[in-house]
Structures are given as C-alpha cells and as structure tokens.
C-alpha cells in the first residue's frame, strides 16, 4: 500500500495532456442507407422477380409470410427500428397485408450479412385473408423502416408472386 501513493502522485503530476480516443463506431456503421429482404428459407436477392411463400402459422391465426431483413446505415440502427411490411395486389390495388412492429437489431459479424444490421425473422400477416384468397396473386411487397434513435428512414419494394408451396 505504501508504494501505491507515490505512483498516484506521479500520474497526477504528468505534464502531457491525456488525449481522449475517437469513439469506436460499430463495424456496421455505414454512410450508405439501404434495406434488403429475403424469404426466410431463401437468399437475399431471391425476391427480385421471385415468389413469396404464404402459409398458416403453426399456432393458428392469419396467414403469414416470414422474412429476413438486413440494413445498411449509421449506428442509430443499434437501438432498433420501427418496421412496416405491406403487400398490395398489383391487379386491383387491394392491400393484402399490413404489419407494423418494433424490432431490435444487432450487427452481423459473420455470414452473408456480415457488416449489416440484422434482426429476428419478421412475419407479415394477411389479416382477414385465407390462403385460397392469396394463391396466385402478384403483389408489391413494401418494407419500410425507421430507426428508433435518430431520423434515418429507408424503404424498398419488390414485385412478388404469392405461392403456397414452400421453396
């Protein structure tokens, strides 16, 4: 204990200023802002001119389509996002699905989404619809997200064929 006191005194008398290091940004921090979606059992890019599976959830309820999402953007996404999933029939403009939810995000450090913000699987619900009502329709899938911290917002859309057979 006797040796600790002189060491503290010596540090307190240092003439050189102590510099604060620059903040370390998460590896997902990007100046580019984008969002991408993929079927839960597919790869990113599969929705381009592709199909989107619709099914009944195991617990029952309205038909749904499970999706995986990834985002590029600032560290404001680390607090999570407000997410909207919308499906609109291209033939007549009918809204087939609308789901709004909050989702936490993490910075992926491995795999195809390394360096992107990712969350758990998102389920778009077709409330008031049956599978027979959805089969064979072509829809515009819109995914809209807003960061819970900061003012970043992003939106993307794909034209997809709704199918009942799993990929």
**Model confidence at 76: pLDDT above 90:** no
Which residue range forms the structural domain that includes residue 58? 28-163
Asked, for residue 102, whether it belongs to a domain, the answer is yes
The pLDDT, as a whole number, for residue 163 is 96
Q: How many domains does the chain have?
A: 1
The pLDDT, as a whole number, for residue 166 is 76
CATH number at residue 89: 2.60.40.2550
DSSP for 116-160, please give it.
Answer: SEE-SPEEEE-TT--HHHHTT-EEEEEEEEEESSSS-EEEEEEEE
Q: Between these two residues, 104 and 167, which has the higher pLDDT value?
A: 104
Closest CA to 126 of 116, 136, 134: 134
Asked, for residue 118, whether it belongs to a domain, the answer is yes
Asked, for residue 8, whether it belongs to a domain, the answer is no
Calculate the average pLDDT of the chain: 89
Q: Between these two residues, 114 and 83, which has the higher pLDDT value?
A: 83
Asked, for residue 138, whether it belongs to a domain, the answer is yes
């Amino acid at each position: 204990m006797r040796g600790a006191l002189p060491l503290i005194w010596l540090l307190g008398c240092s003439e050189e200023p102590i510099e604060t290091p620059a903040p370390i940004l998460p590896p997902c921090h990007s100046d580019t802002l984008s969002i991408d979606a993929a079927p839960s059992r597919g790869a990113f890019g599969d929705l381009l001119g592709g199909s989107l599976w619709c099914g009944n959830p195991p617990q029952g309820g309205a038909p749904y389509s499970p999706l995986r999402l990834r985002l590029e953007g600032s560290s404001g996404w680390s607090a999570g996002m407000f997410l909207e999933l919308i499906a609109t029939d291209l033939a007549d403009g009918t809204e087939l699905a609308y789901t709004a939810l909050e989702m936490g995000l993490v910075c992926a450090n491995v795999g195809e989404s390394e360096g992107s913000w990712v969350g758990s699987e998102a389920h778009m619900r077709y409330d008031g619809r049956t599978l027979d009502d959805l089969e064979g329709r072509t829809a515009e899938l819109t995914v809209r997200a807003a960061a819970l911290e900061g003012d970043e917002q992003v939106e993307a859309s794909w034209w997809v064929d709704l199918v009942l057979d799993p990929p």
